[in-house]
A and B are shown apart, each in its own frame.
Chain A
């Protein structure tokens, strides 16, 4: 148990540092990068919570969060590049304006 508490402490410190970059990041892409790393650290934190509270159900949430984090990053990048999420990437003719 002491192992998980120590790991959680290091993880929380890392999350706070990444959150600082998320706040002060000068460009948009610094923030997206910090958000992606923060999502990965959140997956690890969910695993730690599952072990600390003796409930392995949290691993399902962590697995789901890992997938949603990836899709969310790609969606944010696509939105800031095309200013729209509805159109497919192959529909270049309709992407005007």
Chain B
């Protein structure tokens, strides 16, 4: 009686977590397709990487019981939680350095606030700018 009650509670928890996680996944994927701009698509990707993935992994944890699979799921959730925002930050940093700006930007204040930010590191966006070797010295992080 007691074990079946626990199993039922775990099933209900899994159902709730899977439902919310699937909703977040679909919202994020729909936003990645439909949003108009790279910088707004970053938000949709963040919804997928944190809320959707973590909720689905938590829902899986309720179904394993306590064995080694739970530990593996906790490790997967930990690594996804750490590495996904880092990768998203790296993508946005690279896009910013490459000269990508929001769509309806009224005034680009990059040079007056940050100084000389190189925007010519990517050859297909550089145009008539200087050679790529001159930009790699001033930009610190990667």
Q: Which chain A residues have a beta carbon within 8 Å of chain B's beta carbons? A: 3, 6-7, 10-11, 13-15, 17-18, 20-21, 27-30, 32-34, 36-37, 40-41, 43-44, 47, 51, 56, 59-60, 62-63, 66-67, 69-70, 73-74, 77-78, 80-83, 89, 92, 95-97
CB of A77 within 8 A of CB of B91, answer: yes
Q: Interface residues of B, CB < 8 Å — how many?
A: 57
> Is there contact, CB below 8 Å, between B38 and A81?
no
In the complex, whether B117 has a CB less than 8 A from a CB of chain A is no
Given A36-B87, A43-B80, A29 contacting B38 (CB threshold 8 A) = yes
Which 9 pairs across A and B sit closest by C-beta, in order of nearness?
Answer: A10-B22, A17-B29, A14-B29, A70-B83, A29-B95, A59-B72, A96-B133, A14-B25, A73-B87
B29: contacting residue among A3, A13, A59, A60, CB under 8 A: A13
Q: Is the interface of B mostly helix, strand, loop or mixed?
A: helix
**Chain A positions within 8 Å of B38 at CB level:** 27, 29-30, 33
